[in-house]
């Protein structure tokens, strides 16, 4: 809080009053601070793959290109890093579009149950063998307004995280429950879990619970931040529950359509 004091004089230089202006500068400062941190994070996140690529390319130029065994490995590292950088820049562009509200949601009336089955079917076709996807979906339809493409992005991100962090033979439970005015979607895994004090942070931009590990898994640290923006833009809420060593559950809500009033509840 910033306070400014001034004294009021009349024509004869007599003091007739005092003015105090109190401004709340904390909000502006917080925004400035966040912006500075964000720029510093972006620079750091982009510098890491670039320096890796630089050193591998230097090694190749210095002669490793002639080694039939080493050369393909080094090239594959630089290729992976390039791909990760492209993913990151695409994620950043998307976040920036959502920040400036320069995006229109393409909402359509959707039966969430049927739609969710389709998303899981797609994962079932391509998933690694070491995980099992288990569905707990209601039998009857649940109508919501959705931007399907954006919702698919959320589910892709949350389900692939669950797969990524699942142990051998791990079960991932995908559940949809009807509540009074919302539907509740949850994706539960039996992976390594997240410490209690880090649970909220995973929705922040670039936050990774274990930097080295998730970077190796090809993550950008932006997936859940994007998911949060998308869910909130569709009037839902997203959060996480976890027990370290036991697993993680990501949950989100979406408003149900009100049949009688043909709108939201």
Minimum Å gap between C-beta 131 and ligand ADP is 11
Residues 110, 220, 234, 253: which binds ligand ADP (CB under 6 A)?
220
How many angstroms separate the CA atoms of 73 and 68, rounded?
Answer: 9
Stretch that binds ligand ADP, among 29-37, 63-71, 221-229, 251-259 (CB under 6 A): 221-229
Scan residues 18-47 and list those touching ligand ADP (CB under 6 A). none
Scan residues 187-216 and list those touching ligand ADP (CB under 6 A). 189, 191-192, 194, 202, 207-210, 214
Is 144 within 8 Å of 179 (Cβ atoms)? no
Residues 183, 219, 253, 254: which binds ligand ADP (CB under 6 A)?
219
Scan residues 246-265 and list those touching ligand ADP (CB under 6 A). 248
Residues 120, 142, 157, 174: which binds ligand ADP (CB under 6 A)?
157
Residues 6+ apart with CB under 8 A from 70: 64
Q: How far apart are the first and last CA of the chain?
A: 39
| Closest-approach residue to ligand ADP (CB) | 219
Pairing of strands 107-111, 257-258: unpaired
The neighbouring-strand residues paired with 263 are: 258
Is 236 within 8 Å of 150 (Cβ atoms)? no
Convert 154-166 to b/e letters by CB count within 10 Å (16 or more is b): bbebbbebbbebb
Is 88 within 8 Å of 220 (Cβ atoms)? yes
Q: Concatenated DSSP letters for 26-37? A: HHHHHHHHHHHH
Residues 45, 223, 234, 256: which binds ligand ADP (CB under 6 A)?
223
Q: Does 154 bind ligand ADP (CB under 6 A)?
A: no
- Residue with smaller CB distance to ligand ADP, 236 or 247: 247
Minimum Å gap between C-beta 148 and ligand ADP is 20
Residues 56, 115, 151, 161: which binds ligand ADP (CB under 6 A)?
161
Is 45 within 8 Å of 13 (Cβ atoms)? no
Per-residue contact string for residues 42-81; x = within reach of ligand ADP by CB under 6 A? ----------------------------------------
For the record, the structure tokens of 206 come out as 């670039």
Of 117, 162, 163, nearest in space to 138 by CA: 117
How many angstroms separate the CA atoms of 150 and 144, rounded?
Answer: 14
Minimum Å gap between C-beta 111 and ligand ADP is 27
Q: Which residues bind ligand ADP (CB under 6 A)?
A: 157, 161-162, 165, 189, 191-192, 194, 202, 207-210, 214, 219-225, 248
């Amino acid at each position: 809080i910033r306070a400014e004091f001034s004294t009021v004089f009349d024509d004869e230089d007599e003091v007739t009053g005092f003015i105090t202006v109190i401004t709340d500068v904390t909000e502006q400062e917080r925004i400035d601070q966040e912006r500075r941190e964000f720029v510093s994070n972006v620079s750091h996140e982009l510098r890491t793959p670039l320096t890796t690529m630089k050193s591998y390319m230097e090694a190749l130029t210095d002669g490793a290109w002639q080694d039939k065994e080493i050369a393909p490995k080094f090239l594959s590292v630089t290729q992976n890093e390039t791909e990760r950088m492209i993913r990151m820049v695409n994620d950043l562009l998307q976040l920036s579009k959502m920040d400036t509200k320069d995006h229109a949601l393409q909402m359509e009336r959707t039966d969430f149950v049927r739609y969710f089955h389709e998303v899981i079917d797609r994962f079932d076709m391509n998933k690694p063998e070491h995980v099992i996807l288990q569905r707990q979906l209601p039998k009857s339809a649940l109508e919501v307004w959705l931007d399907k493409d954006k919702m698919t992005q959320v589910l892709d991100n949350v389900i692939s995280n669950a797969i990524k962090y699942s142990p051998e033979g791990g079960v991932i439970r995908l559940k949809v429950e009807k509540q009074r005015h919302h539907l509740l979607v949850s994706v539960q895994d039996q992976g390594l879990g997240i410490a209690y004090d880090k649970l909220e942070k995973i929705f922040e931009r670039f936050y990774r619970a274990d930097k080295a590990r998730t970077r190796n898994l090809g993550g950008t640290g932006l997936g859940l931040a994007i998911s949060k923006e998308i869910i909130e833009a569709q009037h839902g809420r997203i959060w996480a529950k976890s027990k370290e060593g036991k697993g993680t559950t990501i949950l989100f809500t979406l408003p149900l359509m009100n049949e009688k009033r043909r709108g939201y509840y």
